[in-house]
């Protein structure tokens, strides 16, 4: 089959690789019809190379058609249309029973001290072949894949793999009161979808912050009040307070995470890790603080006293200092974590109807064949051509 593989920093290629096969009696093989490029895929493209090996298949946002099932699979069969959640959860362990599918005890990567395995996402999360490919092996066939109806295009459902549940959890964790206010820092795919979901769920005021004109314009089109970071700079917290009765918003969603743009020291350290032998680079990245915490510090400064910060952006550093005194003094609630995809599916599926209230069918800004995947990564990294969200078609 053809698959997009990691080869080195800023070097991904579409190669011919062996087809996946059934390993366990509960496995299924899915022919991928649509697969997305996620902002966290850029972490692999740029930063997390020490935890990858040449030839690793990337991608964790995929859907398609079941081609083959193991002998113990009874809930789905060949020809069924399914979405593949990005985290691998068994659905039967204690953590899955608590709705914490991203902490699944069956697939936890214990040798790394990490949570549930992820498709297409480094040794830290199991080094599982991903979905930016023509076929993918999916475990737990009766409990992990999400069966979706025939008819509407893939673009109606593919975001159930990651974008929709991640943004839904971000809003859930933000605990915005009815009619309350929420600020979303970062208007990439997750941040912008969080704006849409927050409005849908009854937030009275949604404020989106970014520095990319296309992202700001799109969030504004869907009802958010937008603030351009390039315009406000260090005065951003005051501008937000001016919009929220002087006290700050009820909640802030940090949808930025591990992004180094504008942080020369962080970028330099990340480049150094790319030059070190993998063993040394891994230790440096696991033990040193390598993140720019500007967005999180802005969230802490901006949120009202007694408010909530919800972190959906991925951070990687282990030693970054946090202003714990301020967090304590302001009585801030802090919630975060990988999305528990399967937990939120039942709440989201009814919204993927003909009415499409979240406007997911037109969410992608670019649709490209899998063979152009390397070009798509480069465009996404550079934020060229108004690229905000791209889906790839393997066939």
Residues 6+ apart with CB under 8 A from 298: 185, 236, 237, 252
- pTM (2 decimals)? 0.91
Is residue 56 within 8 A of residue 47, CB to CB? The reply is no
How confident is the model at residue 166, as a pLDDT?
A: 97
Q: Between helices 341-348 and 163-174, what is the axis angle to 10°? A: 90
Query: b vs e for 55-91, b when ≥16 Cβ sit within 10 Å of the residue's Cβ?
Result: ebbbbbbbbbebebbbeebeebeeebbbbbbbbbbbe
Distances (CA, A) of 352 to 36, 148, 160, 287, 348: 18, 10, 10, 42, 7
**Tokens describing residue 356:** 């499409």
Short-list 107, 101, 210, 217, CA closest to 161: 101
Tell me the three state secondary structure of residue 28.
strand
pLDDT of residue 262: 44
CA angle 302, 305, 310 (to 5 degrees): 60
Nearest to 103 by CA among 336, 351, 355, 389: 336
Structure tokens at 199: 């409005």
State the Rg of the chain over Cα. 20
Distances in Å between the alpha carbon of 236 and those of 208, 301, 310? 11, 10, 19
Per-residue pLDDT at 154: 97
Beta partners for residue 186, in sequence order: none
Q: Is 329 helix (H, G, I), strand (E, B) or coil?
A: helix
Nearest to 311 by CA among 341, 344, 340, 334: 334
Residue pair 176/203 in contact by the 8 Å Cβ criterion = yes
Q: What is the DSSP string of 160-211?
A: GGTHHHHHHHHHHHHTPPTT-EEEEE--SHHHHHHHHHHHHTT-SEEEEEES
Residue 53 and residue 94: Cα distance in Å, rounded? 32
How do the pLDDT tens digits run along the chain, 395 residues long? 999 999 998 999 999 999 999 999 999 999 999 999 998 898 888 777 778 999 999 999 999 999 999 999 999 999 999 999 999 999 999 999 999 999 999 999 999 888 999 999 988 899 999 999 999 999 999 999 999 999 999 999 999 999 999 999 999 999 999 999 999 999 999 999 999 999 999 999 999 999 999 999 999 999 999 999 999 999 999 999 999 999 999 999 999 876 544 445 445 555 555 555 565 556 555 554 444 577 888 999 999 999 999 999 876 655 556 777 787 778 888 999 899 999 999 999 999 988 999 999 999 999 999 999 999 999 999 989 999 999 999 99
Q: Token pair for residue 145?
A: 């894949």
Q: 261 CB contacts (<8 Å, ≥6 apart)?
A: none
- Which residue has tokens 């025939």? 150
């Amino acid at each position: 089959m053809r698959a997009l593989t990691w080869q080195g920093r800023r070097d991904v290629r579409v190669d011919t690789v062996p087809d996946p096969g059934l390993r366990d009696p509960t496995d299924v093989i899915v022919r991928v019809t649509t697969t997305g490029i996620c902002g966290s895929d850029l972490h692999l493209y740029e930063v997390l190379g020490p935890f990858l090996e040449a030839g690793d298949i990337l991608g964790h946002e995929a859907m398609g058609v079941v081609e083959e099932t193991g002998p113990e699979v009874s809930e789905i069969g060949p020809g069924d249309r399914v979405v593949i959640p990005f985290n691998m959860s068994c659905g039967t362990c204690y953590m899955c029973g608590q709705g914490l599918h991203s902490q699944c005890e069956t697939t936890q990567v214990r040798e790394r001290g990490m949570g549930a395995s992820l498709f297409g996402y480094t040794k830290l999360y199991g080094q599982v072949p991903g979905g930016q490919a023509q076929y993918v092996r999916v475990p737990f066939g009766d409990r992990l894949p999400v069966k979706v109806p025939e008819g509407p295009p893939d673009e109606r459902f593919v975001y159930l793999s990651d974008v929709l549940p991640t943004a839904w959890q971000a809003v859930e964790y933000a605990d915005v009161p009815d009619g309350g206010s929420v600020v979303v820092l970062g208007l990439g795919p997750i941040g912008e979808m969080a704006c849409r979901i927050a409005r849908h769920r009854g937030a009275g005021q949604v404020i989106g912050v970014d520095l990319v004109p296309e992202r700001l314009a799109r969030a504004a089109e869907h009802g958010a009040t937008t603030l351009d970071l390039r315009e406000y700079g260090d005065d951003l917290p005051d501008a937000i307070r001016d919009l929220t009765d002087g006290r700050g918003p009820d909640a802030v969603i940090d949808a930025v995470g591990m992004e180094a743009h504008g942080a020369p020291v962080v970028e330099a350290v990340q480049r150094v890790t790319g030059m070190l032998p993998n063993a040394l680079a891994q230790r440096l990245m696991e033990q040193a603080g390598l993140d720019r915490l500007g967005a999180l510090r802005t969230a802490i400064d901006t949120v009202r006293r007694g408010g909530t910060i919800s972190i959906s952006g991925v951070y990687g550093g282990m030693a970054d200092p946090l202003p714990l005194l301020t967090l304590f003094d302001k009585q801030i609630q802090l919630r975060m974590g990988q999305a528990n995809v399967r937990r939120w599916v039942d709440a989201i599926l009814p919204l993927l109807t003909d009415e499409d209230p979240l406007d997911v069918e037109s969410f992608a800004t670019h649709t490209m064949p899998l063979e152009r995947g390397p070009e798509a990564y480069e465009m996404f990294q550079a934020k060229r051509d108004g690229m905000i969200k791209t889906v790839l078609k393997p066939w």
